[in-house]
Chains A and B, each alone.
Chain A
Amino acid sequence: MTNWTQAKGPGETPKSNAITDVACPFCGLVCDDLEIVRDDNGLHVVKNGCEKAIAGFDRNVDGAKPQVDGRDVDIGTAIQAATALIRKSSLPLYGGLGTDVDGIRAVMALADKSGGVVDHALSEAQYRNFRVMQTRGWIMTTLTEARNRADVIIVVGSDIQKLHPRFFERIVNVDESLFSETPPKRTVYFIGKGLDQSAVKGPRIGEIITLPCEIDRVGEVIGALAAEVKGTPVTHDTVAGVPIADIRALAERCQSSAYPVFVWAPPSLAFPNADLVVSTVSDLVKDLNVKGRAAGLALGGNEGSISAAAVASWQSGYPLRVSFASGKPDYDFLRYSIPRMLANGEGDALVWLASFTPDLGPPATKIPTVVLGTPGLKLPNPPAVFIPVGTPGADHAGRIIRVDNVVSLPLRNLGRSNLPKASDIFAAIELAL
């Protein structure tokens, strides 16, 4: 396990020139205890940085220029070209949406005015959750609540470590708890084979128990677990290769625990109908709450996707996949999926925003494309217009909503570059439109 906390204890003095309590926007957890120093070579995470934080902050973004048709231009020319393209379009698609709250506000305003469609690059994963919220609902908890209260953690088919490298350190293996001076060790269950357990160690970690099934068969194990909890036992000896006795033991453990927390990350559940797994987990948690307490904790939410869905919801009523083509918000989470629209030749301009990681490049498409991106963004082909933009929390200030959909954090301007805010570029386009 990587020791992210190179120096521990609240009293310890930070490096003299370090910026402390920095919030990191590079995954949905938005850890805010980072220390960062700035020198002539840029930013360096010196404390509490995971590999995502280091990759995000320490990256050099100097020298990127706006481009139109592959030629360097000044920013005004690039904005003009983008405006012309959007003006000409009868159905612009606003995708990517890797940005902060102000960025997504600006996208919504522009999409409303230009009659476009909004959809986040990670919507497909988020909709594994939203479909359940919109049909069944659930009982959820948040990071601080789980950190202090959970006595059993059940990881459902998700590679948490890969998506959120500090989850186990910050939420599970914590020294102290609000409700006991000698907090008991926690049992961690993994439902699914091959999930990275390397960070599940330390003084608070008790047993680690794996129910090894293929990831795309997690639903079967969860279904059996739900049946056991409901008191309708499964008659098979094994389910998806997992002995029923082990599933029954987990059911009993959930019922005898004070606050079991089921953790899943929708991006990991990348198989057909994965929303049904989320649905079954949520119903199972509801059943546990008839007599005791239990909660779900959905992770994921990288690339600003939580902020994008929240802002879209409060401004339009709908969590993304909304079209403003008729002048009113029109919602259809199948129809207004940008990957589906592109595949079917719908939409005549793609406006792509990716301000956090270079991995969130636009899909290959023949329709004219405007990209507002962090320098180094992976591009399948040169877009009609490229405007390099800053990363909220590194190049300019901002705000972002955390994965539990409750807490939001301020992102600081660490002075990494003078790259513009995406929200300012979109506001300029909207004004010119």
Chain B
Amino acid sequence: MLTKFTGGTVYDPLNGVNGEVRDIYVKDGRIVAVPPPGTRIDAEYPLNGRVVMAGAIDPHSHIGGGKVTIGRMMLPEDHQGHEVARTELMRSGCGHAVPSTMTTGYRYAEMGYTAAFEPAMLPANARQAHLEMGDTPMIDKGAFVMLGNDDFFLRSLVEKKDFAFIKDYIAWTMHAAQAMAVKIVNPGGISAFKFNQRSLDLDEKHEFYGVTPRDIILTLARGMKELGVPHPIHIHGCNLGVPGSMNSTLATIRGAEGLPIHLTHIQFHSYGTEGDMKFSSGAPQIAELLNQTPNVSIDIGQIMFGQTCTASGDSMRQYGNTKSANPKKWVVMDIECDNGCGVVPMKYRDKSYVNALQWCIGLELFLLVQDPWRIFLTTDHPNGAPFYFYPHLIRLLMDRTFRNEMLEKLHPGAQAATILKTLDREYSLYDVAIMTRAGPARSLGLRDRGHLGAGAIADITVYEDNADREAMFKTPLFVFKSGELIVKNGRVVKVVSGATHVVRPDYDRAIEKPLREYFDRYHTVKLDNFRLSDQEVVESNCGHTGGECGCVIVQPCGPRTS
């Protein structure tokens, strides 16, 4: 079956295609080279005047795992009025701040997304995270496993274990949790909170283990690099949400010592302490440093106004944020000598100085960081806002007039405290294609995703070229997943499962001997039950290899180096 997509205006940054009229050919779920003249075309989509991009990829969205489901359970009143009825094709569900799993999958696809990655999978909760992602249809999934607050890792640092041992442990955990990358959340801080430390700055010592967040970050950054994992260590830094957090963020960037790192939802870590409110934007300083630091990539974690729910592994900082809970209920957990979590509902208000400035800080960062290949579009769903605000966010970036109109509605103090009005930059469609497709695909090591060159999986989104960019990105004309039409005019027309992506770096299996003993002595789960088997994440005996159903796709990992 050969399908031709004729005459669309193509934005494909990984192949250097910037708004050129091109024909695209798809065969057996993949994009193929232009066939010889006379080859039979089985189906054709005339796309003249339409905008064609690869399916969008969300590199940081809390879509699966225990804390998301705690948020769902905790907020029935937020679902009410947002229930979604069953249709011939689709299951019922609900969706506002924390949509149900199926609704999440449908909504992502309806917005032109074909992949989303869960960034905070606890090893102890990995099985449930995969179960929830397995119930999230339409899109490809994958997860970053959280390390660096777990006792085994911290103990290994204290005992000055051989670096090969630590790498083996990182790699073992990635296999055991079926992960695609590694995340560190409040390095050492989640653990320190269990010992009643209430803050932990970059060079502050964990009072029990005696290590610092800097030690932990550098160990994991080096570990990722030497294991050949494509995505660098994904860092949720120190001091989330704290006025003055910009200083630890600047120090973290400088402290990476040239190692590749990714700083996630950096908006929440870009606050200064100036002004009457002792809360100011650190975006200019951070962006300036980022522009000079090519080893660092970021995503924003933009906030939007309205009701949402924050869900983070950062129990220390989320406990601190409980005073802002709205409505006033929240869950904080200490988990398995492994990690933690904090789920705090949040209502961001445009008439609040702090919230309004948070909104400005996120946009300042978007506009001041020059290289779109190192900045990804996220709201840290659902922490800054639910993911379906992306079209609105894209319009804010592409349309300066609209942005300034929105700005004028905010708390006047925040308007006075931001340089946003002086920033004239408008994102181009090419920039958006980088930030939502090419950049995340390259960063995550998804070699056959995020682009439209021959050999790529045919995940393709087609938009009407509407001057209202919010309307354009909200309602794609067509979305194709592996070459199949799944969305038409912004509505699901076919339900598919989507695949799970994993990365499997090499490790020495001898690591299991000390680990097994450790589990036996201290844990309440046996090592062999802790580990997720392939069969648990694969649709049973599907026999596919290309991700047509819920299969696992093992993305290539670089060679292990010392």
Distance, CA A139 to CA B525, complexed state (A): 22
Contact between chains at A310 and B526 (CB < 8 Å): no
Task: Indicate whether A401 reaches chain B with its CB closer than 8 angstroms.
Answer: yes
Contact between chains at A331 and B80 (CB < 8 Å): yes
Contact between chains at A407 and B100 (CB < 8 Å): no
Contact between chains at A327 and B331 (CB < 8 Å): no
Stretch at the interface among B112-120, B480-488, B528-536: B528-536
Stretch at the interface among A66-74, A144-152, A364-372: A144-152
Nearest chain A CB to B333's CB is how many angstroms away?
5
Q: A113-B86, A318-B79 are in contact. Are A140 and B333 (CB under 8 A)?
A: yes
Stretch at the interface among B13-21, B351-359, B398-406, B515-523: B515-523
Task: Indicate whether B102 reaches chain A with its CB closer than 8 angstroms.
Answer: yes
Contact between chains at A324 and B92 (CB < 8 Å): yes
Contact between chains at A314 and B74 (CB < 8 Å): no
Task: Indicate whether B131 reaches chain A with its CB closer than 8 angstroms.
Answer: yes
Contact between chains at B529 and A109 (CB < 8 Å): no
Contact between chains at A144 and B525 (CB < 8 Å): yes
Contact between chains at B151 and A112 (CB < 8 Å): no
Contact between chains at B86 and A317 (CB < 8 Å): no
Task: Indicate whether B37 reaches chain A with its CB closer than 8 angstroms.
Answer: no
Contact between chains at B74 and A101 (CB < 8 Å): no
Contact residue among B74, B86, B194, B533 (Cβ-Cβ distance under 8 Å from A328): B86
Contact between chains at A144 and B319 (CB < 8 Å): no
Distance, CA A118 to CA B49, complexed state (A): 49
Q: A141-B334, A148-B522, A328-B83 are in contact. Are A316 and B529 (CB under 8 A)?
A: no
Please give, as numbers and ranges, the residues of chain B lying within 8 Å of A309 by CB-CB distance: 73
Contact residue among A141, A148, A315 (Cβ-Cβ distance under 8 Å from B333): A141
Contact between chains at A409 and B525 (CB < 8 Å): yes
Contact between chains at B196 and A137 (CB < 8 Å): no
Please give, as numbers and ranges, the residues of chain B lying within 8 Å of A176 by CB-CB distance: 521-522
Task: Indicate whether B252 reaches chain A with its CB closer than 8 angstroms.
Answer: no
Task: Indicate whether B557 reaches chain A with its CB closer than 8 angstroms.
Answer: no
Task: Indicate whether A289 reaches chain B with its CB closer than 8 angstroms.
Answer: yes
Task: Indicate whether A143 reaches chain B with its CB closer than 8 angstroms.
Answer: yes
Task: Indicate whether A214 reaches chain B with its CB closer than 8 angstroms.
Answer: no
Task: Indicate whether B330 reaches chain A with its CB closer than 8 angstroms.
Answer: yes
Stretch at the interface among A127-135, A153-161, A248-256, A336-344: A127-135
Stretch at the interface among B64-72, B168-176, B380-388: B64-72
Contact between chains at A139 and B208 (CB < 8 Å): no
Q: A292-B196, A314-B69, A317-B94 are in contact. Are A407 and B337 (CB under 8 A)?
A: no
Contact between chains at B135 and A314 (CB < 8 Å): yes
Task: Indicate whether A258 reaches chain B with its CB closer than 8 angstroms.
Answer: yes
Contact between chains at B127 and A399 (CB < 8 Å): yes
Task: Indicate whether B335 reaches chain A with its CB closer than 8 angstroms.
Answer: yes
Cβ < 8 Å to B, chain A residues 143-191: 143-145, 147-149, 170-171, 176-179
Please give, as numbers and ranges, the residues of chain B lying within 8 Å of A171 by CB-CB distance: 524
Please give, as numbers and ranges, the residues of chain B lying within 8 Å of A141 by CB-CB distance: 333-335
Q: A144-B336, A406-B125 are in contact. Are A317 and B85 (CB under 8 A)?
A: no
Q: A142-B336, A318-B76 are in contact. Are A136 and B329 (CB under 8 A)?
A: yes
Cβ < 8 Å to A, chain B residues 112-138: 122, 124-125, 127-128, 131-132, 135
Task: Indicate whether A382 reaches chain B with its CB closer than 8 angstroms.
Answer: no
Contact between chains at A133 and B331 (CB < 8 Å): yes
Cβ < 8 Å to B, chain A residues 382-410: 399, 401, 405-410
Task: Indicate whether B101 reaches chain A with its CB closer than 8 angstroms.
Answer: yes
Q: A137-B329, A139-B333 are in contact. Are A144 and B524 (CB under 8 A)?
A: yes
Task: Indicate whether B84 reaches chain A with its CB closer than 8 angstroms.
Answer: yes
Nearest chain B CB to A401's CB is how many angstroms away?
6
Q: A105-B135, A410-B536 are in contact. Are A315 and B93 (CB under 8 A)?
A: yes
Distance, CA A102 to CA B441, complexed state (A): 32
Task: Indicate whether A204 reaches chain B with its CB closer than 8 angstroms.
Answer: no
Chain B facing A: main interface SS: mixed
Task: Indicate whether B338 reaches chain A with its CB closer than 8 angstroms.
Answer: yes
Contact between chains at A317 and B331 (CB < 8 Å): no
Please give, as numbers and ranges, the residues of chain A lying within 8 Å of B238 by CB-CB distance: none
Q: A405-420, CB under 8 A of B: which get 1 and which 0?
A: 1111110000000000
**Total A residues in contact with B, Cβ cutoff 8 Å:** 65
Task: Indicate whether B91 reaches chain A with its CB closer than 8 angstroms.
Answer: yes
What is the chain B residue whose CB lies nearest that of A101? B131
Distance, CA A293 to CA B190, complexed state (A): 13
Contact between chains at B128 and A310 (CB < 8 Å): yes
Distance, CA A31 to CA B79, complexed state (A): 35
Task: Indicate whether A287 reaches chain B with its CB closer than 8 angstroms.
Answer: no
Distance, CA A140 to CA B86, complexed state (A): 35
Contact residue among B69, B86, B330, B334 (Cβ-Cβ distance under 8 Å from A142): B334
Nearest chain B CB to A285's CB is how many angstroms away?
10
Contact between chains at B135 and A315 (CB < 8 Å): yes
Task: Indicate whether B332 reaches chain A with its CB closer than 8 angstroms.
Answer: yes
Please give, as numbers and ranges, the residues of chain A lying within 8 Å of B72 by CB-CB distance: 313-314, 317-318
Please give, as numbers and ranges, the residues of chain B lying within 8 Å of A272 by CB-CB distance: none
Nearest chain B CB to A112's CB is how many angstroms away?
5
Cβ < 8 Å to B, chain A residues 296-342: 309-311, 313-319, 324, 326-331
Contact between chains at B329 and A406 (CB < 8 Å): no
Distance, CA A135 to CA B330, complexed state (A): 9
Contact between chains at B319 and A112 (CB < 8 Å): no
Contact between chains at A319 and B73 (CB < 8 Å): yes
Task: Indicate whether A62 reaches chain B with its CB closer than 8 angstroms.
Answer: no
Contact residue among B125, B331, B338 (Cβ-Cβ distance under 8 Å from A137): B331
Contact residue among A105, A144, A313, A329 (Cβ-Cβ distance under 8 Å from B69): A313
Distance, CA A331 to CA B98, complexed state (A): 16
Q: A318-B79, A329-B94 are in contact. Are A406 and B102 (CB under 8 A)?
A: no
Please give, as numbers and ranges, the residues of chain A lying within 8 Å of B155 by CB-CB distance: 178
Task: Indicate whether A295 reaches chain B with its CB closer than 8 angstroms.
Answer: yes
Contact residue among B74, B332, B522, B529 (Cβ-Cβ distance under 8 Å from A178): B522
Contact between chains at A331 and B337 (CB < 8 Å): no
Q: A134-B73, A310-B128, A408-B131 are in contact. Are A148 and B93 (CB under 8 A)?
A: no
Distance, CA A144 to CA B98, complexed state (A): 28
Contact between chains at A10 and B332 (CB < 8 Å): no
Cβ < 8 Å to A, chain B residues 503-545: 516-517, 520-526, 528-529, 533, 536
Please give, as numbers and ranges, the residues of chain A lying within 8 Å of B102 by CB-CB distance: 315
Cβ < 8 Å to A, chain B residues 45-95: 64, 66, 68-70, 72-76, 79-80, 83-86, 91-95
Contact between chains at B79 and A317 (CB < 8 Å): yes
Please give, as numbers and ranges, the residues of chain B lying within 8 Å of A292 by CB-CB distance: 196
Contact between chains at B84 and A328 (CB < 8 Å): yes
Contact between chains at B101 and A315 (CB < 8 Å): yes
Q: Could you tell me which A residues sit within 8 Å of B by CB distance? A: 10, 21, 23, 31-33, 101, 105, 109, 112-113, 130, 133-145, 147-149, 170-171, 176-179, 258-259, 289, 292-293, 295, 309-311, 313-319, 324, 326-331, 399, 401, 405-410
Shortest 6 CB-CB contacts between residues of A and residues of B:
A317-B94, A328-B83, A137-B329, A317-B79, A10-B520, A327-B85
Known: A324-B86, A399-B536. 9 other contacts (CB 8 A): A133-B329, A134-B74, A140-B334, A148-B522, A314-B69, A317-B79, A328-B86, A399-B127, A410-B533
- In the complex, 24 of the A-B residue pairs with CB atoms within 8 angstroms, ordered by the A residue number, are A10-B520, A21-B528, A33-B526, A130-B73, A134-B76, A136-B329, A137-B74, A144-B337, A145-B337, A147-B522, A148-B522, A170-B524, A177-B522, A259-B194, A310-B69, A313-B69, A315-B135, A316-B92, A316-B100, A317-B83, A324-B86, A324-B92, A328-B92, A409-B525
